[in-house]
Amino acid sequence: MWQERSAIEWLRWLAEGRVSAVELVDAAFQAIERTDSRVRAFLHLRPEQARVEARSIDERRRRGEELGLLAGLPIAVKDVLCVRGEPTTCGSRMLAEFRPPYDATVIERLRAAGAVLVGKTNLDEFAMGSSTENSAFFPTRNPWDLSRVPGGSSGGAAACLAAGQVPLSVGTDTGGSIRQPAAFCGVVGLKPTYGRVSRYGLVAYASSLDQVGPMARTAEDVALLLSVLAGHDPRDSTSAPVAAEAYHQGLDAPLGRLRIGVIREHFESGLSPSIAGAVRQALDVLAQMGAELVEVTMPHSPYAIAAYYLVAPCEASSNLARYDGMHYGLRCDESLPAGDGNEGRQDASRLVRVYRASRSQGFGLEVKRRIMLGTFALSAGYQDRYYVKALRVRRLIRADYERAFERVDVLAGPTTPSTAFRFGEKLADPLAMYLEDLFTVGANLAGVPALSLPCGFDENGLPIGLQLQAPWFREKRLLQLAHQFQQRTDWHKRRPAL
């Protein structure tokens, strides 16, 4: 059903009375029932609550009440955003029983806009991964080829769109976790400018990098969802005091003669030939639209992966220290016998054992790896050598972007170096897995907005993503360019034969 029309078109049908919110929500759950036993995009579904919310929207519409921008549309949210009283697991055993006492700001805004949350999607544990194989519960599969990964960490949020289960989803992006799965699954994903969308109620991985963002099958639908998500939030100290826009309006406005920078380093060694060819063809389309293509160099981009995989684990080491088995989350209580006169020493020993057991059993291998890497890099004698040096490189990468945007309006290149890989193919080689983020981490380190959209398929019929990046808070420019590209191409209209 969702293959037939975009979210914008369904909203028009809702307004005209040609379909009801209840019918759309029922259609979403029917699609999930048909396909999710194979795709496994969802960790938690809420059919009863969703139908109650949909009926309420239909009744308010019949009474002529003013409704929100997304009123009646089903939506899925990555299970790293707090929903009051409902599971928020972060794909981890550590939080398998956690029920937050409050809603994230993003959830509040979706509710106010009338969106109907159908469920929470699967992810790599604590958003640490590029394949959704690191979920503590089960892997999510790519609807284009069930033997391959959907990308990560927002793999479930991308897969549920590609599988036609819902028209909109929300993901998070710390180093490419929206854009890489969007590329692998043939959908559109936007990482907004850092601070554009509130992080209040987002379970933190790396606080200076994390950003919530919209995902859909068209750039127009992504723009619609961003119009709801964006905006200043005083409860988030990193939220930018910059006014949001109606991003979904004016997408057809003339772009003028945009200067598009083609990043030279992203076409060098390590890039799949099929991706290079598809992206070059997409650049030709942009040129036919009137854009001027200019080669630009980002001299410090080869160091982005190394800098990212020091900054992010250091912040993760600090953020995840709270999961100690004492306050909330998994607790593995290994009691010691008492009564031998050494109760004080035994209590201290028991505390350490509870910490050790809870964290050992609650965290998966990849999360442990990143915690240990970050803890080591922050330890005495090593902080200046690793963490502080990585921060200096981060500043150089930001300077590369500043210089590039003095010459061009938008940067373009591939989203990923390869298309979706098979399950288990990279698990034994963490470095090979980390290199999947080769082209995406720079935007997070610099804080700029970046978008991935479909631009072709490889020889195995797997989607290829084109990445567009813009100066800080220029999301509208990205969305206009992506929308007008999609008016001239049909890559986003193709569907997997699931």
Active-site residue (options: 135, 169, 177, 239)? 177
DSSP state letters, 304-347? HHHHHHHHHHHHHHHHGGG-SSSSSS----------SS-HHHHH
Domain with CATH 3.90.1300.10 in the chain: 7-259+409-493
Which residue type sits at 302? Answer: P
Active-site residue (options: 6, 78, 130, 227)? 78
339: pLDDT strictly greater than 50: no
Per-residue pLDDT, 328: 78
- Residue 291 is given by DSSP the state P
- 7-259+409-493: CATH class: alpha beta
Report pLDDT digits (tens) over 448-467. Answer: 999 999 999 999 999 999 99
Q: Which helix (H) or strand (E) holds 261?
A: strand 259-263
Per-residue pLDDT, 2: 60
Active-site residue (options: 20, 130, 153, 452)? 153
Range ranked top by mean pLDDT from 335-339, 356-360, 391-395? 391-395
Per-residue pLDDT, 493: 95
- 78 flagged as catalytic: yes
Mean pLDDT score, 169-185: 98
Mean pLDDT score, 304-309: 97
SS3 462: coil
Report pLDDT digits (tens) over 99-150. Answer: 999 999 999 999 999 999 999 999 999 999 999 999 999 999 999 999 999 9
Exposed/middle/buried for 496, CB within 10 Å: 0-12, 13-18, 19+? buried
Q: Residue 119: phi, psi to the nearest 5?
A: 175, 180
349: pLDDT strictly greater than 90: no
Q: Residue 392: phi, psi to the nearest 5?
A: -65, -40
Per-residue pLDDT, 1: 67
Please give the share of the chain, as a percent, with pLDDT higher than 70.
96
- Residue 85 is given by DSSP the state T
SS3 472: coil
Per-residue pLDDT, 60: 97
Per-residue pLDDT, 336: 44
**More reliable by pLDDT, 196 or 356:** 196
DSSP state letters, 215-251? EESSHHHHHHHHHHHBS--TT-TT--------TTSST
**The Cα angle at residue 91 between residues 192 and 334, in degrees rounded to 5:** 135
Per-residue pLDDT, 326: 83
Please give the share of the chain, as a percent, with pLDDT higher than 90.
89
Report pLDDT digits (tens) over 5-52. Answer: 999 999 999 999 999 999 999 999 999 999 999 999 999 999 999 999
Q: Residue 436: phi, psi to the nearest 5?
A: -65, -20
Per-residue pLDDT, 133: 97
Report pLDDT digits (tens) over 66-79. Answer: 999 999 999 999 99
